[in-house]
Structure 1
Amino acid sequence: MPEIRARPAPGGDTRNYGLPFTLDGIEKAVSIRIEGLSRNLVADLPDLSLDLLEIAALVYGCDAAVSRGGPVDTRLGRAWYRDFQIEVPVRCQNLWTRKDVRTALSEVLNFVSGDQFKFTFTAHPGAGGHQEFFKFSPDDGWQADRVMMFSGGLDSFAGALEEMFEHKQQVALVSHFSATKIAPRQKALKAALEGRCGPKSCKHFPVKIQLGKGGNKETTYRTRSFLFAVLGMIVAQSFGRDRVSFYENGVVSLNLPLVANVVSTRATRTTHPKTLNLMTRFFTGVFERTAKIDNPYFWRTKTDVVETIARLGLAEKIRVTNSCADTRNRTEQHPHCGRCSQCIDRRFAVLAAGLEHEDPEEAYAVDLMQGARREVRDREIALSYVRNALDYEVMAPPDLQSCFPEVTDSIGSLGVPPQVGLEQVNALLQRHGKAVAGVMRTKAPKDPAPQSLPALFGDTQREPRLRAGPKVPVAPSPVLQARLILTLQSTSKITINDKIELVGPATVRLLTILAEQHLEAAGAGLDPFDYPCTEAGKLAGLLDVTDESLRRQISRMRGDLRKRFASADPTLSDEFEIIENVPWSGYRLAPDRVDVRRKT
Structure 2
Amino acid sequence: MTPPEHHIRCLAPLTKSGGDEEVRLEIDDKPVGVRLRIGRLNEQLVAGLPDRAFDLLEIAAVVYGADAAVSRGGPVDQQMGRKWHRRFIVDMPVRDRDFWARDDVTRLLEETLMFLSGDRFEFGFSQKRYPEAERSKFFKFDAESSWKADRVLMFSGGLDSFAGALEEIAEQRQRVALVSHFSASKIAPVQRNLHKALIGKFGGDFCRHVPVQVQMKGRSLKEGTHRSRSFLFAVLGAITAQAFEQNRVSFHENGVVSLNLPPVNNVVGTRATRTTHPQTLTRFTGFFAKVFEKGMRIDNPLFWRTKTDVVKAISRLGMNDHIAHTRSCADVHNQTKQHVHCGRCSQCIDRRFAMLAAGLTQFDPEEAYKVALMDDARNGAIDREVALSYVRNAQVFEHMTPEVLERTFPAVLDAVGHLDYPPATALTMIADLLNRHGASVSGVMHNTFDSRDADSFPEGSLPRLYGDVQRQALLAAIPDQAAPPDPPMPHPFILEVDTRRRRITIDDRVTFERNATASLLIELATLWLTGVGQGLPPLDYPFLQAAQLAQHLELASDEALRRRVMRARSYLRQRFASSGLDEALGGELIENNPWQGYRLAPDRVIVRKIEQD
TM-score calculated relative to the size of structure 1 = 0.80
Q: Matched residues in 2 for 1:145 and 1:435: separation? A: 35
Provide the residue aligned with 1:412 in structure 2. 417
Cα distance change of structure 1 residues 294 and 572 upon mapping to structure 2, 3 Å threshold? farther
- Deviation at residue 166 of structure 1 after TM alignment: 1.2
Equivalent residue number for residue 497 of structure 2: none
CA distance in 2, matches of 1:73, 1:391: 27
Are residue 113 (structure 1) and residue 121 (structure 2) matched? no
Q: Residue deviations 1:209-253, cap 9 Å, x none?
A: 122111111110000000000000000001000000000000000
Counterpart in the other structure of 1:545? none
1:84-130, Cα deviation, whole Å (9 max, x unpaired): 11111000101101111111101110000011111000001222344
Higher deviation after alignment, 453-462 or 99-108: 453-462
Letter in 2 for 1:239: F
Q: Distance in 1 between matches of 2:237 and 2:353?
A: 30
Displacement after TM superposition at 1:473 (Å): 5.0
Relative distance call for 1:221 and 1:71 in structure 2 (3 A) is closer
1:41 pairs with one of 9, 21, 45: 45
Q: How many Å apart are 1:8 and its aligned residue?
A: 2.8
Deviation by residue 1:442-484 (Cα, 9 ceiling, x = unmatched): 1343222211101100178599x99316846545369384477
Q: Which amino acid aligns with 2:577?
A: A
Q: Deviations over 1:518-575 (max 9, x none)?
A: xxxxxxxxxxxxxxxxxxxxxxxxxxxxxxxxxxxxxxxxxxx968962499897634
Q: Deviations over 1:247-297 (max 9, x none)?
A: 000000002023697354312100000000000000001113221000000
Q: Is the 8 A contact 1:17 1:33 kept in 2?
A: yes
Q: 1:497 to 1:298 in 2, by over 3 A?
A: closer
**Aligned counterpart for 2:534 among listed residues 467, 483, 486:** 467
Query: 1:34 is matched by which residue type in structure 2?
Result: I
The Cα shift of 1:9 comes to: 1.6
Paired with 1:339 and 1:471, the residues of 2 have a C-alpha distance of: 23
Which residue of structure 1 lines up, in the alignment, with residue 558 of structure 2? Answer: 479
2:464 to 455, 464, 470: 455
Match of 1:352 in 2: 357
Q: Distance in 2 between matches of 1:204 and 1:81?
A: 36
**Contact map agreement 2:417 2:423 (CA 8 A) in 1:** yes
Structure with greater contact order relative to length (CA < 8 Å, sep ≥ 6): 1
The structure-2 alpha-carbon separation of the partners of 1:72 and 1:193, relative to structure 1 and needing over 3 Å to count, comes to: closer
Letter in 2 for 1:85: I
**Contact 1:222/1:265 (<8 A) preserved:** no
Q: Equivalents in 1 of 2:116, 2:302: separation in Å?
A: 20
Report % sequence identity.
Answer: 52
Partner of 1:89: 93
Q: Does structure 1 retain, via aligned residues, the 8 Å contact 2:373–2:462?
A: yes
> Partner letter of residue 257 of structure 1?
P
Contact between 1:33 and 1:209, CA under 8 Å: does it hold in 2?
yes
2:397 and 2:415 mapped to 1: Cα distance?
17
Partner secondary structure for residue 180 of structure 2: strand
Tell me if structure 1 keeps the 8 A contact 2:17–2:134: no
Matches within 5 A, 1:170-181: 170-181=175-186
1:17-71 per-position Cα deviation (integer Å, ceiling 9, x unaligned): 1211111112222111223333332233332111011000000000011111247
5 Å-filtered alignment, 1:507-522, equals: none
- Does the aligned pair in 1 maintain the 2:344–2:371 contact within 8 Å? yes
Query: Which secondary structure state, in structure 2, belongs to the residue aligned with residue 258 of structure 1?
Result: helix
Q: Distance in 1 between the 2:591 and 2:103 partners?
A: 52
What SS does the aligned partner of 1:125 have?
coil
Q: Distance in 2 between matches of 1:81 and 1:100?
A: 24
Q: Which amino acid aligns with 1:26?
A: K
With over 3 angstroms needed to count, the CA separation of the structure-2 counterparts of 1:418 and 1:580, relative to structure 1, is: closer
Summarize deviations over 1:347-402 as a string: whole Å, max 9, x none.
00011000000001110000001110111100111111000101111111111111
Change (3 A) 1:305 1:72: closer
Q: CA deviation at 1:12?
A: 7.3
2: distance between equivalents of 1:305 and 1:589?
28
For 2:66, give the aligned amino acid: C
One-letter amino acid of the structure 2 residue matched with residue 574 of structure 1: L
**Gapped regions of structure 1 (runs ≥ 5):** 487-495, 501-560, 583-587, 595-600
Work out the CA distance in 2 between the residues paired with 1:68 and 1:572: 37
Quick check: 1:386 aligned with 2:387? no
In structure 2, the partner of 1:145 is: 150
Residues 290-310 of structure 1, C-alpha deviation per residue, up to 9 Å, x if partnerless? 210000000000000000000
Q: Which residue of structure 2 aligns with residue 300 of structure 1? A: 305
Query: Alignment partner of 1:180: what SS?
Result: coil
Q: Which ranges of structure 2 fall in alignment gaps of 5 or more residues?
A: 474-531, 551-556, 601-613
Which of 91, 96, 102 aligns to 1:98? It is: 102
Residue 435 of structure 2 corresponds to 430
Q: 1:75 aligns with which of 76, 79, 96?
A: 79
**Conserved 8 A contact 1:8-1:89:** no
Q: Assess, with a 3 A threshold, how the Cα gap between structure 1 residues 437 and 116 changes in structure 2: closer, same or farther.
A: same
Residue 131 of structure 1 is matched in structure 2 by 135
Residue 578 and residue 327 in structure 1: after superposition, are their counterparts in 2 closer, same or farther (change >3 A)? farther
Asked if 2 retains the 8 angstrom alpha-carbon contact of 1:243 and 1:291, the reply is yes
Cα distance 1:97–1:182, how it changes in 2: closer, same or farther (>3 A)? same
* 1:165 counterpart = 2:167: no
With 188-197 and 43-52 compared, the bigger mean Cα shift is at 43-52
Return the alpha-carbon distance in structure 1 between the equivalents of residues 261 and 82 of structure 2: 21
**Aligned-residue offset at 1:581:** 13
- 1:324-344 Cα deviation digits (max 9, x unpaired): 000011001000000000000
2:350 partner amino acid: D
Q: Which residue number in structure 1 is paired with residue 529 of structure 2?
A: none
Shift of 1:196: 1.3
For structure 1, which segment, 411-420 or 426-435, has the greater mean C-alpha deviation from structure 2 after superposition? 411-420
Q: Alignment partner for residue 585 of structure 2, among 574, 585, 595? A: 574
- Residue identity in the other structure for 2:89: Q
Matches of 1:126 and 1:460 in 2, distance apart? 65
Q: Quick one: which amino acid aligns to residue 51 of structure 2?
A: D
CA distance in 2, matches of 1:460, 1:153: 32
Counterpart in the other structure of 1:6: 10
Q: How does 1:214-225 map to 2 (within 5 A)?
A: 214-225=219-230
**Equivalent-residue separation in structure 2 for 1:142 and 1:265 (angstroms):** 43
Q: Does 1:340 align with 2:419?
A: no
3-state SS in 2 of match to 1:118: strand
Alignment-mate amino acid for residue 44 of structure 1: G
Q: Secondary structure of the residue that 1:574 maps to in structure 2?
A: helix
Q: CA deviation at 1:73?
A: 6.3
2:134 paired with 1:55: no
Q: Distance in 2 between matches of 1:323 and 1:245?
A: 19
Q: Distance in 2 between matches of 1:460 and 1:568?
A: 34
CA distance in 1: counterparts of 2:409 and 2:72, whole angstroms: 25
Query: Could you tell me which residue of structure 2 aligns to residue 271 of structure 1?
Result: 276
Change in CA separation of 1:200 and 1:264 when aligned onto 2, cut-off 3 Å = farther
For the residue of structure 2 that corresponds to 1:414, the secondary structure is coil
Equivalent-residue separation in structure 2 for 1:285 and 1:255 (angstroms): 28
Q: Partners in 1 of 2:377 and 2:329 — Cα distance?
A: 18
Question: CA shift at 1:137, angstroms?
Answer: 2.0
Change (3 A) 1:578 1:173: same
**Most deviating of 84-93 and 211-220:** 211-220
Q: Is the 8 A contact 2:68 2:222 kept in 1?
A: yes
Q: Secondary structure at the match of 1:110?
A: helix
